[in-house]
Amino acid sequence: MGRPSRRAATAAIETHIAVLKGDPLKAALATALREAEGLGGQERRFVALAARELSRHTRLLDLAARQLGHSPGKHALTEDTALVRYALWRRLFCGEGWTRIGPEVKLPGPVRPRTLHDAVLEGLVTKPLVEPAAPEGPEAIVERLATRYSFPGWLTQRLAQVYPEGTLAGLMASLDDEPSLHFRARPPGTRDAVLAALAEEGVAAEAVACAPDALRVADASHRIFESKTMKARRLQVQDVGSQLIVLACLPPGTTLTGLTVADVCAGAGGKTLGLADLVGAKGKVLAGDRSKRRLSDARERVREFGLKQVTFPHPVPLDAVDVVLVDAPCSGTGSLAREPDQKWKLSAKAITEFQATQSALLAEVAAQVKPGARIVYATCSVLPEENDTVVERFLAKHPDFALEPVGEGWAPELQVGVDGPYLRALPPRVPGGGFFAARLVRKAG
């Protein structure tokens, strides 16, 4: 978890204050780390973890605060709310007492202004907590899970309508946990060689069975980023489900080698790199995105990896491609482990708006592709409104397209993420975030 210190606590709390005022967690964290002076590597790791944890466990931390007489609604300042949550997180999730927590939060600082005296924070850390009575009635399961895993009630209710309790508990637990780092070995098919190279450098890593090139680093020191293997571009940071989406772009029984593929929502280029490795030097990847800022990140990564087969035409000529990946804008409910602040910004209305955007985007792409071309529709959502429903409504309006099962011909160990005709990579069954993909083919003629 890194090394806590007063300076690290200050940066973590300032990050949470910015999040409470509306900033995205990633941006707030980047700002706090940039402005913090003299933080070591282990302190920076602690800041990043603490900042995510404060958003991740908000509901549970606020429940404890209410029991101790400090409901967030009573705080005069946002800074007070952040201080209370930090002190309670160090107590409840780190198992620390006032001896350790006090030096991190005592006046003067670590943030100003504030109205809470040191004695108040000490009381939050030392006063006994009584476990609340278990809720009763038909909503008991939803209430218990929402509290235990700090999810909004409306979102927990919706997930409970989709997944049985056993699956739901595992899914929510995974999305409420600090995510592991997963990598893709490159070029494809060289995972064993990459693992052997890492072992020679003393970096402990292991294969992840449910994706052919996926691996997980067991060494928490993050030495892998300084390894020769990483610097030689033999590794790319990429979630397992994201790797499976790229795999879903493979036409059944064949390869992408030499084909032309479009990634129309390329974002920062994670899947673009994977597609480039699959098409090879003789193929083409045409990348585009409506966000110029995110696409600039993709351009930089493509340059770093030296991928000459990737270009960024505008507009992307979809009538000339064999496969189109539509990694649609979505709620990101499958990525809440990495972006826990988003679960408090989502709403049922937002889900409906995402669905409308996804349907419009899919229809726009479909109108341009040639007969025989494939569209892979994907999201990082675990909600059927953004997944199955979008695909089914599309097929009902577009009889010239057919649903082609994902996973056809995949090895048995890869089938763990396949659900009927769809890719549905759900944690913890598939480690990492939650992802969805469907493959649609335009009928000839």
- Rounded CA-CA distance 358/371 in Å is 22
The β-bridge relationship of strands 235-237 and 418-419 is unpaired
Query: Could you tell me the CA-to-CA distances from 191 to 188, 195, 216, 253 in Å, in that order?
Result: 7, 6, 11, 22
Alpha helices in 250-374 (DSSP H): 270-279, 292-305, 348-366
- Rounded CA-CA distance 334/241 in Å is 10
Known binding residue 322? Answer is no
Cα Rg, the chain, nearest whole Å: 23
Strands, E assignment, 350-417: 374-379, 401-404
Cis amide prior to 152 (ω within 30 degrees)? no
Q: Give the other-Cβ count within 10 Å of 346's Cβ.
A: 18
- Rounded CA-CA distance 92/57 in Å is 10
The β-bridge relationship of strands 214-217 and 323-327 is unpaired
- Per-residue tokens: 300: 């930089």
- Rounded CA-CA distance 101/110 in Å is 12
- Rounded CA-CA distance 25/28 in Å is 5
Name residues whose C-beta falls within 8 Å of residue 126's C-beta, 6 or more positions apart in sequence.
97, 98
- Rounded CA-CA distance 118/108 in Å is 10
Rounding to the nearest 10 degrees, give the CA dihedral for residues 279, 283, 289, 294: 70
Rounding to the nearest 10 degrees, give the CA dihedral for residues 229, 233, 238, 240: -60
Q: Name beta bridge partners: 235.
A: 185
Known binding residue 177? Answer is no
DSSP code for 133 = P
Catalytic (active site) residue 380: yes
Question: Which amino acids are annotated as binding site for S-adenosyl-L-methionine, given as ranges?
Answer: 289, 327
Report, as residue numbers or ranges, the catalytic residues: 380
